[in-house]
Amino acid sequence: MSLSFLQTNHQPDKPKPSLFPLRGEIPLAVVTENFCKPTTADPTHAWRFFKRLLSLEISDFFVLQIQTPFLSTKNQTHAVRGLLWKLLVAGEVFRNMSNIQTEQLLQMETTCGSLLCELKIIWDEVGETDKDRDKMLLELEQECLEIYRRKVDQANRCRAQLRQAIADSEAELAAICSAMGERPVHIRQSDQSAGSLKEELSKIIPQLEEMQKRKVERKNQFLEVVEQIQMISSEINGSTSCISSKVVVDETDLSLRRLEELHRQLHALQTEKSDRLKQIQAHLGTLNSLCLVLGMDFKQTISEIHPSLDNSEGCKDISLDLIERLATAIKKFRDVKIQRMQRLQDLATTMLELWNLMDTPIEEQQMFQNITCNIAASEHEITEPDTLSVDFINYVEAEVSRLEELKSSKMKELVLKKRTELEEICRKTHMVIEADSAIEYAIEAIESGVVDPSCVLDQIEVQVAKVKEEAFSRKDILERVDKWLFACDEECWLEEYNRDENRYNAGRGAHLTLKRAEKARALVNKLPAMVDALASKTIAWEKERGTEFTYDGVRLLSMLEEYTILRDEKEQERRRQRDQKKLQGQLMAEQEALYGSKPSPSKTQSVKKGPRMSTGGASNRRLSMQAPKADSIHSTRVPATPLSRPSSRKSDRGHQIEHDDGLTALATGRRNLSRNSSFGSSYEPESPMMRKPFAPISLPAENGTFATPMKSTNVPEEDYTKTPKVIMSFVPTTPQTVSVPMQTAVTPAPPSHQPIPYAANVAKEVAPEEVEYSFEEIRAGFVLPSAHTKSIHV
Amino acid sequence: MTAVPPPSSGQELSNPPTDGVSNLRFSNHSDHLLVSSWDKTVRLYDATANVLRGEFSHGSPVLDCCFHDDSSGFSASADNTVRRFVFNSNKEDIIGKHDAPVRCVEYSYAAGQLITGSWDKTLKCWDPRGANGQERTLIGTYQQPERVYSLSLVGNRLVVATAGRHVNVFDLRNMSQPEQRRESSLKYQTRCVRCYPNGTGYALSSVEGRVAMEFFDLSEASQTKKYAFKCHRKSEAGRDIVYPVNAIAFHPIYGTFATGGCDGYVNVWDGNNKKRLYQYSKYPTSIAALSFSRDGHLLAVASSYTFEEGEKLYEPASISPSKNHHEPDAIFVRNVNEIEVKPKPKVYPNPPA
């Protein structure tokens, strides 16, 4: 209360700063308080006091000071001291210092004042002059002033710094805002609400921090986007170092618009990337299908194009270069595919042709149906895996070459067939094949592959046609030649027949021979006319044709000529013989007349087959020309001698066979026996026919061949036949387990006296004292002690 | 011949005899199987468990064996002895001796006697309960016309088949002379004789692939029923190969019977209806012996070379398919299906005579 009161009174103090160099209410207040204390109850008193204070001289002030013992608290004391010190500093205290009592000063605590007092005491003691004292006090005062000034400077500097800081912050803020493209949040209204500098600074700093934070965030966003952009673009451009070392963001432009722009860019890049990936995928798909069709290893192929394609986790390289490479690979493979497809289609066409040509069975064709069905397919239609692989093409190629080989062999066959046909015709028409050697040569050529077999075939066919035509023209003459030759043969035969003295001896078939002779004679008589006619025909033919008529390579006319000459010769010979005979007959008649006996017709004059006179020359030549054919002609022309011959031979052979059978039967029989007596051989060395019952037993039948008893299983065996009615008939069997009727026969009453068909039993009868042993006895080596057999056991 | 028989052959017993099996028999009380062999042993198997329960060595080949009860058995040996052994204690003693190898042994539950037949042309009856020593155990010796080859018992009837195709039918209660003297109706050596379980007759097989079905009753009516049938033959290249019929085993319940031959086949027959019921798939080698278990659910088959072709070495055909080798000796125990052994009723009766 008193304080406010004091403060209200304080205002009028202001105009007196000289008295109170240090402004401030506190010392004054303290003073006033102290002064007021005794008079607190009375404001008027205080007011009075204050008036006094206002008019106070410094000396009075000191008096005031002396009253400080009233100041109870240390603070108050301190304050007063400070006040005093200030007064001292003001330099106003010391002028009336001398009247300050020493003891009072001593009572004071060590303060400026006390120090001053101390100084005064010292000075007094020392006896300093007032001048020195003043000088020293001035120094003191100046030093103090210096200190003040320094402090003021410092404060001033501090203020300047503060201002600078504010300005800086504001500038930074503005820069950030502009970079971020934002209106500055804080526009300083400098004079409006000033506040202190520190307030200002403290206001601006959080804003700045906020902005800085936002900037960093924004920058990070930028960084992120830019990084992605860089990454994608590097991927797209196919730079090998995918992650660039440093992402640089233009710090000056961090606006949202820019960000938006970058995002758009990124998006565009991403779209491009996905487009490329799609493209690559599509390429890979195409490539895969191509590889499949071509039978190539897809993985290897793509890893050859780019190693990154192979790994499954999506490809990393999406550069245009790669796409380019893929595209070229696809093109390459497609080319290969087309090439192979054409090859395959060629092959298929060939194959089809060959099939058609050779009537290949459907089953054989079936295996290659999948190829031939693609014969007209276009490139994209062939999608089946491995249809165009190298192996497959090789396989088809092999088949085609096989077929071709087959075809060529068939062709060769055909050529040979044609050739034999040609030969046959020639043989039949007794012509000589002109181009024989040529054909022979042709075949060799075909084999060596020089000449196309079809060409040769054509050639041969032309020849065949030619020969056929010629044969047709020769037909008439040939028939006549045949007749003539036959007549010649008959003539020949007749000659021989005539030479046979015994020809009239009645024997078997004599009448046939007679008949033949008769016919032959008629024929022989016709022979000259025949020859003439033939000759004239031949001449006409030769004239017409302009070539010689050859028969087996010999000119027919010369053959005829030769024949006529021979015939003439023969005629002469015959005439001579007849004469001789006549002579002989005369001689004989004479002798008979003399001796009365007649020599029996000589038998030694058996038919001697001399050289055939009639057609000897021709036939000889023919023989020399075509020996085997001539033979066959002869065998057909001359009726085979007795027909019984071959048949007899056959019957001989039949005997032989039977005999053989018997032998084999015997042999097998013996074999069986020896097999049967496999142990018997060691135990019973006697007869091979001896048989002990053991298995397996073969049952020889009486006739020596082996019967097949299985056939007669239902027929009761001879020795068992008693009541055949008991024989089981087949009973229908239940399906689960097949029960079979037994092969039974009623047991005969023992002993059976019927002959036993088994060799074994025969043997038994032969040696009735033979002791039988069971397998066990044999194995144990048991021998009957009393056995009188000349046996047996080892 | 297949080296490994198909699984349809049944379970093959492990630890088979190392030489030819001479006989095998199921116990009358369990599925134990007693096997005698040329390898000089008698073996006791648990057929269901496929375990070898015991092995008794002899001095020479064992030609036959039979159970006494489930704890002891008898054997007939080629060293002329008749032995008895107790399975649990592995104890073995000689009951008596013949003058020649003992071919067969049978124990008659009806008479409590052991009957043995030997190649010394005798039959001997023994009382196995008697103390050791031939004098005490031997009941009687009965001369036979020839070496005994096979024995079969039914009730008190004993059928003895010998060499020379003789067949004697005895009554165990009067062994002094045969009840019937017969000759085999088959023309060849007898391999095996087995009585019908119903006691009316016997089946007899020969070395020549044939089995005769005979009846004890000598009346005209009975004798007309008898017959013989061919089996175990093979027709090959127009020839019949005939195999010996080594074994006959009657089914204890249905009275049908199985035959086994040197052809390696086991056939099941219905004697009444004269039908073959079943043929099992071929075994590796000759069937040496057959036995049905007491209830007829198991059939033991000894597939073992029976010396029908003289000496052969053991070696599977797969190794060297030579004639002089034979397949391993094996014992198969197969489960018998009812359908394989149950007689089939006639579809229609025989046409009247």
pLDDT tens track for B128-177: 887 666 667 889 999 999 999 999 999 999 999 999 999 999 999 999 99
Looking from the CA of A375 toward its CB, the CA atoms found within 13 Å total 13
Residues of chain B above pLDDT 90, percent: 71
> Is the peptide bond prior to A693 cis by the omega test (within 30 degrees of 0)?
no
Structure confidence by residue, pLDDT tens digits, A387-432 = 778 888 888 888 888 888 888 888 888 878 887 888 888 877 777 7
A468 and chain B: CB distance < 8 Å anywhere? no
Contact B257, B250 (CB under 8 A): yes
A726 phi/psi in degrees, rounded to 5: -80, -10
Do residues B41 and B58 touch, judged by C-beta distance below 8 A?
yes
Residue A94: predicted pLDDT: 41
Query: Please, which pLDDT band fits residue A83 given cuts at 50, 70 and 90?
Result: low
As a whole number of Å, the CA-based R_g of chain B is 19
Task: Give the confidence band of A679 by pLDDT, cuts at 50, 70, 90.
Answer: very low
Identify the residue among A677, A717, A777 best suited for mutation to test binding to B, counting B beta carbons within 10 A and taking the highest. A777
Listed by number, the residues of chain B in 285-314 with a beta carbon closer than 8 Å to a beta carbon of chain A are: 306-311
Residues 11-70 of B with CB under 8 A from A: 20, 22, 38, 61, 63
DSSP SS3 for A35: helix
Residues 6+ positions from A398 with CB-CB distance below 8 Å: none
Is B175 in a helix, a strand, or coil? coil
Name the B residues in 226-265 with CB < 8 Å from any A CB. Answer: 226-231, 234-235, 238-244, 261-263
Asked whether A700 and A707 are in contact (CB, 8 A), the reply is yes
Contacts of B295 (CB under 8 A, 6+ apart): B252, B253
The residues, ordered by sequence, that sit 6+ positions from A195 with a Cβ below 8 Å of its Cβ are: A203
Q: What are phi and psi of A659, to 5 degrees?
A: -60, -45
What pLDDT, on a 0 to 100 scale, did the predictor assign at position B315? 58
What is the signed CA dihedral for B12, B16, B22, B26, rounded to 10 degrees?
-60
Distance between CA atoms of residues A619 and A625, nearest Å: 9
Contact B227 A694 (CB under 8 A): no
Least confident of A337-346, A765-774, B53-62: A765-774
Residue range A629-655: mean pLDDT, rounded? 40
Q: Are A280 and A326 in contact (CB under 8 A)?
A: yes
pLDDT of residue A383: 75
For residue A658, the model assigns a pLDDT of 42
Q: Do B78 and A780 touch (CB under 8 A)?
A: yes
Lowest mean per-residue pLDDT among A90-94, B162-166, B332-336: A90-94
Q: How confident is the model at residue A39 (pLDDT cuts 50, 70, 90)?
A: very low
Which of B13, B90, B94 is closest to B48 using CA atoms?
B13
Rounded to whole angstroms, the Cα distance separating A463 from A434 reads 9
* Largest Cα–Cα separation, chain B: 60
* Whole-structure pTM value: 0.40
DSSP string of A444-462?
Answer: HHHHHTSS-HHHHHHHHHH
Pairing of strands B325-326, B313-314: parallel
- pLDDT higher than threshold 90 for residue B212: yes
For residues A68 and B117, the model is more confident at B117
Residues of B in contact with A793 (CB under 8 A): none
Q: Before A792, cis peptide (omega within 30)?
A: yes
Q: CA angle, corner A221, sides to A217 and A227, nearest 5?
A: 140
Which residues are CB-contacts of A272 (< 8 A; sequence separation ≥ 6)? Answer: A232, A236
**Contact, A233 vs A269, CB < 8 A?**
yes
Question: CA nearest B77 in A: which residue?
Answer: A780
For residue B243, give the nearest of A672, A696, A736 by CB distance: A696
CA B162 to chain centre: 14
Question: Tokens at residue A8, please?
Answer: 């209200």
The DSSP 8-state label assigned to residue A376 in this structure reads T
Average pLDDT, chain A: 67
Please give the average per-residue pLDDT across B311-321, as a whole number. Answer: 60
The tokens describing A216, both together, are: 């960093």
* Contact status of B181 with chain A (Cβ, < 8 Å): no
Least CB–CB distance from B339: residue in A683, A706, A736: A736
Picking from B183, B278, B350, the nearest residue to A751 by CB comes out as B183
Task: Return the DSSP state at A375.
Answer: T
A747:B310 CB<8 A: no
Q: How far apart are CA B233 and CA B239, in angstroms?
A: 10
Instruction: Please write the tens of the pLDDT for every residue from A687-733.
Output: 444 444 444 444 444 444 443 344 334 434 444 434 434 334 344 44
Each residue of A463-511: pLDDT tens digit? 888 888 888 888 888 888 888 888 888 888 888 888 777 777 767 777 8
pLDDT score, position A670:
41
pLDDT computed for residue A390 by the predictor:
82
A512-521: long-range contacts, CB 8 A cutoff, minimum separation 24 = A519/A490, A520/A490, A520/A491, A520/A493, A520/A494, A521/A494
Mean predicted confidence (pLDDT) in A518-529: 84
Kindly determine whether residue B275 and residue A741, on different chains, have CB atoms separated by under 8 Å: yes
Cβ within 8 Å of residue B21, ≥6 positions away: B35, B36, B37, B38, B288, B289, B302, B304, B329, B331
**b or e along B50-74 (b: 16 or more beta carbons within 10 Å of the residue's beta carbon)?**
eeeebebebeebbbbbbbbeeebbb
Q: How far apart are CA B274 and CA A743, in angstroms?
A: 9
**What residues in A contact B149, CB-CB < 8 Å?**
774
Locus of tokens 């797969």: B318
Residue B348 tokens read as 């229609």
Share of chain B above pLDDT 70, in %: 91
List strands edge to edge, sheet with B157-162.
B148-154, B157-162, B166-171, B180-183
Helix (H), strand (E) at residue B319: none
Please report the pLDDT score of residue A728 as a whole number. Answer: 41
Q: What is the number of residues in chain B?
A: 353
- Picking from A404, A389, A237, A406, the residue whose alpha carbon sits closest to that of residue A323 is A237
Least confident of A94-108, A739-753, A773-787: A94-108
In chain A, residues with a C-beta closer than 8 Å to the C-beta of B61 are 780
> pLDDT tens for residues A137-161?
888 889 989 999 999 999 999 999 9
Q: Which helix (H) or strand (E) holds B166?
A: strand B166-171
Q: Are B267 and B258 in contact, with CB atoms under 8 Å apart? A: yes
What percent of chain A stands above pLDDT 70?
A: 57
Spatial contact of B58 and B77, defined as CB atoms under 8 Å apart: yes
Both structure tokens of A690: 């001896």
Contacts with B266 from chain A: Cβ below 8 Å? none
- Report the DSSP pairing between strands A554-555 and A550-551: antiparallel
Query: Which residue did the predictor score with more confidence, A490 or A47?
Result: A490
Tokens of A622: 């023919």
CA-based nearest residue to A629, from A427, A769, A390, A391: A427
| Residue A86 DSSP symbol | H
> At B218, is the pLDDT very low, low, confident or very high (cuts 50, 70, 90)?
very high
Question: How long a stretch of residues is chain A?
Answer: 794
Strand partners, B122: B143
CB pairs under 8 A between A and B: 160
Query: A279: number of CA atoms within 13 Å, CB side?
Result: 18
H or E, element range at A427: helix A390-428
Mean of the pLDDT values across residues B230-238? Answer: 87
Q: How far is CA A492 from CA A609, A628, A637, B112, in A?
A: 10, 22, 13, 111
Q: Side chain identity at B56, as an amino acid letter?
A: F
Q: Which residues contact B15 (CB under 8 A, 6 or more apart)?
A: B43, B52
